[in-house]
Amino acid sequence: MSASSALSLTSSASDSPYDQLSYLLAHPNLSESRKHRPTSELVAENHKRLRRGVLADGIPEGEVAGAGGRPSLRPTTWKIFLRIPEISSAVYLSYVAKGKSSVHEKITNDAFRTLATDQDFKDKVSEEALVRLLDAFAWSHLDTFTYVQGMNVLAAPFLYTLPSEIEAFYCFSAFIEECCPLYVSPTLKGVHDGLALLDKCLNALDPELYEYLRKKNLSAELYAFPSVLTLCACTPPLDEVIQLWDFLLAYGVHLNILCVIAQLLQMREEVMESISPMKILRQFPPLKSRTVIAMTVLLVRDLPEDLYAELVRHPRGEEEGEVLRMG
């Protein structure tokens, strides 16, 4: 079933992508045979239709609030992808009331540097809000997580996208817990495993480029660490990062490894012609999310099954799990 036909179950084919996605979000359990199917199956079907819609059209932007303005659908979509059951202001405020956490100094040392060159982010998200959220996260996960490098940048898109700090906290917490817990382990195991997989995937997908970089002693650890650590949030512009995260939240953060390779392939000719390719790779060009997503979908299809399975597992460390392929 195509993305368009998946959405046609819930809205008119003549509707705009905004209207189609809006209808799907408003009728999450709509199905031609819903009376005879368990709730879990309906939820899975809804998520599948939603993912396909995002892949086909992205999440349409809302309009400026005001008379006749249409709100962004992204906050609701992200909360569905992250399976946020409920949000409690009282719980969040209880963590905030605890004040500075044991890792507060580390948080403040990183907070002021977070997306420091992005004026839109600075205008919308205060440093104080970022520190509060990360301190609250530390208090709420005393037995499971501690603050590590990169958490500040991973929290930034949630504060930028979600309409409230409380919603951002719940989404960020679910994201860390369910999507990439090994990325924030004390040793950053998931990040380093992802970098090793980037080298393996590049060798499988473009052995010529891989060999050229290897001869220059350039592994992914040297040129791709920030992009893997932050799920490309380090590459401006932020609005393009947000659109890339629509895709990653829909299909899995493991795909970020292939998104980095897609960006690398966009620079391929320049890199291959350079005697010092690290000068080029030190700063990736501005992110073009739809191009990267389209290339990533093609790369998924060309990757060997066993290597793709490794890719799926690496952010969480699970031996088994749902493997989402796009076809």
Overall domain count for the chain? 3
Q: What is the CATH number of the domain that holds 288?
A: 1.10.472.80
Is the pLDDT at 25 greater than 90, yes or no? no
**Model pLDDT, residue 21:** 77
Question: Does 173 share its domain with 196?
Answer: no
Question: Both 211 and 300 in a single domain?
Answer: yes
Determine, yes or no, domain membership for 323.
no
User: Are 41 and 56 within 8 A, CB to CB?
Assistant: no
Nearest to 98 by CA among 144, 132, 126: 132
Other CB atoms within 10 Å distance of the CB of residue 100 = 13
33 CB-near residues (< 8 Å, 6+ apart): none
CA dihedral sign of residues 167, 40, 37, 246: positive
- Cα gap 148→207, rounded to integer Å: 34
Rounded to whole angstroms, the Cα distance separating 222 from 19 reads 44
Whole-number pLDDT of residue 9: 39
Last-in-domain residue among 124, 146, 179: 179
In a domain, 112, yes or no: yes
Contacting residues for 77 by C-beta, under 8 A, at least 6 apart: 21, 25, 50, 54, 59, 246
Do 299 and 233 reside in the same domain of the chain?
A: yes
Q: Residue 86 is encoded by which pair of tokens?
A: 């409920």
Cα separation of 260 and 197, whole Å?
11
**Cα angle at 313 between 312 and 315, to 5 degrees?**
95
Residue 324 is which amino acid? L
Residue 81 is assigned to a structural domain of this protein: no
Parent domain of 162: 89-179
Query: pLDDT value at position 28?
Result: 57
For residues 77 and 246, is the Cβ–Cβ distance under 8 A?
A: yes
For 231-264, the DSSP string reads TTTTSS-HHHHHHHHHHHHHH-GGGHHHHHHHHH
Q: What is the number of other CB atoms lying within 10 angstroms of the CB of residue 139? A: 18
Task: Please state, in angstroms and rounded to a whole number, the distance separating the CA atoms of residues 242 and 325.
Answer: 22
Does residue 206 fall inside a structural domain?
yes
- Are both 193 and 290 inside the same structural domain? yes
Q: Check residue 58 and give its pLDDT.
A: 92
Confidence bin at 145 (pLDDT 50/70/90): very high
Q: What is the pLDDT of residue 16?
A: 80
Q: What is the pLDDT of residue 299?
A: 98
The pLDDT, as a whole number, for residue 12 is 52
Fill in the DSSP letter of residue 73: S
Last residue of a domain, one of 42, 57, 72: 57
pLDDT at 2: 40
Specify the CATH number for the domain of residue 101: 1.10.8.270
Tens digits of per-residue pLDDT, 87-126? 999 999 999 999 999 999 999 999 999 999 999 999 999 9
164 and 203 together in one domain: no
Looking at the structure, tell me whether residues 102 and 170 fall in a common domain: yes
Contact 180, 316 (CB under 8 A): yes
Same domain membership, residue 238 and residue 123: no
Q: Clarify whether residues 206 and 290 are in a common domain.
A: yes
Residue 84 domain-assigned (yes or no): no
Residue pair 29/42 in contact by the 8 Å Cβ criterion = yes
Residue 174 predicted with pLDDT over 80: yes
Q: Which residues contact 189 (CB under 8 A, 6 or more apart)?
A: 182, 317
Q: Within this chain, do residues 206 and 139 fall inside the same structural domain, yes or no? A: no
Q: Is 327 within the bounds of a domain?
A: no
pLDDT at position 327 over 80: no
Asked if pLDDT for residue 144 goes beyond 70, the answer is yes
Confidence of residue 60 (pLDDT cuts 50, 70, 90): confident
Same domain, 231 and 171: no
Tell me if 137 sits within 8 A of 174, measured CB to CB. Answer: no
Measure the CA angle with vertex 290, ends 17 and 31; round to 5°.
35
Q: Does residue 199 register a pLDDT over 50?
A: yes
* pLDDT at residue 126 in the model: 97
Domain membership of residue 30 (yes or no) is yes
Would residue 114 count as lying in a domain? yes
Indicate if the pLDDT at residue 67 is higher than 60. no
pLDDT score, position 176: 98
Given 127, 161, 179, which residue is the final one in a domain? 179
> How do residues 26-58 score in pLDDT, each as one tens digit?
765 544 444 455 567 777 787 888 899 899 989
Going by the DSSP 8-state scheme, the letter that residue 273 receives in this structure is H
pLDDT tens for 238-295 read 999 999 999 999 999 999 999 999 999 999 999 999 999 999 999 999 999 999 999 9
Query: What integer best gives the mean pLDDT of the chain?
Result: 89
**Are residue 284 and residue 211 in the same domain, yes or no?**
yes
14/126 same-domain check: no
pLDDT over 70 (residue 136): yes
